[in-house]
Amino acid sequence: MQLLKDRILKDGKNLGGGILKVDGFINHQVDPALMFEAGKEFARRFQHVGATKILTAEISGIAPAVMTGYHMGLPVVYARKHKPITMPDQVFLTLAPSHTKGRMVELIVSPEFLAGGERVLIIDDFLASGATILGLVRLAETAGAVLVGIGTLIEKVFEGGRKKLEHLNIPIESLAAIERMEGEVISFQ
């Protein structure tokens, strides 16, 4: 998606160590117009998969997931990182390493919002090592849901996450696939 690539080149910053700073428009301050267009593009790319629900991770995946849900007319559930008192005692829970936090994080979903038979489309901000998305996959599988696709705003191809997801045999779409980041240079596939 050229709009996203242009924004990454204009406002993104390579911090080194595989970290791309995009918090000015994706994951701290959000550009609603950009997310609206990203959601529309995901809806176009996944219109054929028969999704009944969108699943994402708190917090950075929420904006693109909600906009995709808007365009597809689907509810969005996000895996929380902390269990609120309003959530039932029995939950779906898994752990995933966070590259930016430098530690393991919990991903928690209430069975009230993710059930067997759901056709789940995962939408998230990044596909890097694949660890967070694999955590979301585990949650969906534990719930008895069927995975129908994975979409990410940005894929860091050089981290190899897509390879870890290929066994799922579902469509995997990234709106901006970064081949390499060196100094000020960000190169797309």
User: What pLDDT is attached to residue 12?
Assistant: 96
pLDDT tens for the chain, 189 residues long, are 999 999 999 999 999 988 999 999 998 999 999 999 999 999 999 999 999 999 999 989 999 999 999 999 999 999 998 888 888 788 888 888 776 667 888 899 999 999 999 999 999 999 999 999 999 999 999 999 999 999 999 999 999 999 999 999 999 999 999 999 998 899 999
Q: Over the range 70-99, which residues count as b (16 or more CB within 10 Å of their CB) and which as e? A: ebbebebbbbbeeeeeebeeebbbbebeee
User: What pLDDT is attached to residue 13?
Assistant: 96
Which residues partner with 94 through β-bridges? 107
H or E stretch at 132: helix 131-143
Q: Decide if 112 contacts 91 (C-beta within 8 A).
A: no
Please state the pTM of the whole predicted model.
0.94
H or E stretch at 187: strand 185-188
C-alpha separations of 16 from 114, 125, 185, 186 in Å: 37, 19, 11, 11
User: What pLDDT is attached to residue 179?
Assistant: 97
User: What pLDDT is attached to residue 122?
Assistant: 98
User: What pLDDT is attached to residue 117?
Assistant: 94
The domain of 104 spans 2-188
Tally of structural domains, the chain: 1
C-alpha separations of 71 from 44, 51, 54, 145, 176 in Å: 9, 12, 12, 22, 20
For residue 38, the domain's CATH number is 3.40.50.2020
